[in-house]
Homo-oligomer: A and B are copies of this chain.
């Protein structure tokens, strides 16, 4: 339909997650009319990411050096490891400023449906990090869904003999949420995990 290179761009954009044919077309026309310098910067950012970003040799997080910023930071508590599924979970947790320990990125969660087993995750690397006994707490921060729960249970069993404190993030009502709109599983978890108020 479009002149060759415009159609090529629409096709390439359409392969990105969450970009349908209509958005791809809209972005392509935006690009056509945009400042050439802006477009050059976007193209360069894409190439730079592929050229420069790798995964931290220790924790599997996104990194620009051999290790990621968290692993390179000597102020981070090396006795606590928070296990997450993806690098973006690290960012979400960093944003809370609640956690001062280290991370371990699994690269996904156990999912028999999608054919992801324990061997496809960075579990062996995690066990290696725990081997010297320096780590005292393992926080299992996998997603609060079926796959995440299964992965947390699997990991908890794997390390049960290591004498670690193994914890899981609390499930419950989202802050600022509305009780009546909470789904029944979340509400059930909120009951299960209810805390005594010291008044």
- B-contacting residues of A (Cβ < 8 Å)? 1-6, 8-9, 11-13, 15-19, 23, 25-32, 36, 38-50, 52-53, 62-64, 68-69, 86-88, 91, 94-95
* Chain B: CB-nearest residue to A56: B3
Contacting pair B8 A45 (CB below 8 A): yes
Point out the residues of chain B lying under 8 angstroms from A4, CB to CB.
64
Question: How many whole Å from A106's CB to the nearest CB in chain B?
Answer: 14
Residue in B9, B11, B88 whose CB lies within 8 Å of A48: B9
* Chain B: CB-nearest residue to A18: B23
Question: How many whole Å from A71's CB to the nearest CB in chain B?
Answer: 12
Q: How many copies does the complex hold?
A: 2
Contacting pair A49 B6 (CB below 8 A): yes
Point out the residues of chain B lying under 8 angstroms from A19, CB to CB.
23, 27
Point out the residues of chain B lying under 8 angstroms from A16, CB to CB.
27, 30-31, 42
- For this complex, 23 residue pairs linking A to B, each with C-beta atoms less than 8 Å apart, are A1-B91, A1-B94, A1-B95, A3-B62, A3-B68, A5-B48, A5-B64, A8-B45, A9-B46, A12-B42, A16-B27, A16-B30, A17-B26, A18-B23, A18-B27, A28-B49, A29-B86, A29-B87, A31-B50, A32-B53, A36-B50, A43-B43, A43-B46
